Amino acid sequence: LKASRGAVVNVASDAGVHGNYFCAAYCASKGAVVLFTRALALETAAFGVRVNAIAPGDILTPLTEAQLGTGEKREQSLREMASVYPLGRIGTAEEAAALIVFLASARASFVTGAVYGIDGGLTA
């Protein structure tokens, strides 16, 4: 990373910046990712290495699909999950990936130690 003046993008969670019910260990682990990102950014900045993180809310993935179920149950569960987000939906893997690509790119060359929420406004 030093030789290439590279970039690291960690994946935290909205649960790492605010608490969630019945998820204490998960919240603690994602909160650790947030502070690890910020500390490592400071430690590596002198070498030109950038370290950032994304903090996604619910993202539609195979794991999320398994939680939702099938048929009408899936649609109802998806509506309930989306209802807590100001944008009225959950995110996609492509949206999260696009933010990671940006943070890893030269277009974000002056960004380090940042934690970007990608959560449809949930933590606004």
pLDDT tens digits along 23-61: 999 999 999 999 999 999 999 999 999 999 999 999 999
The domain that contains 100 carries what CATH number?
3.40.50.720
Which residue out of 21, 26, 85, 116 is catalytically annotated? 26
In this predicted structure, the answer to whether residue 69 has a pLDDT above a threshold of 90 is no
Mean residue pLDDT across the chain = 96
- The region, left, alpha or beta by phi > 0 then psi within -120 to 50, assigned to residue 107 is alpha
Is the residue at 81 inside a domain? yes
Model's pTM, two decimal places? Answer: 0.93
Give me the domain span that covers residue 31: 7-118
Is the residue at 111 inside a domain? yes
Is the residue at 123 inside a domain? no
Is the residue at 104 inside a domain? yes
Is the residue at 94 inside a domain? yes
Is the residue at 124 inside a domain? no
The number of distinct structural domains making up the chain is: 1
Is the residue at 1 inside a domain? no
26 noted as active-site residue: yes
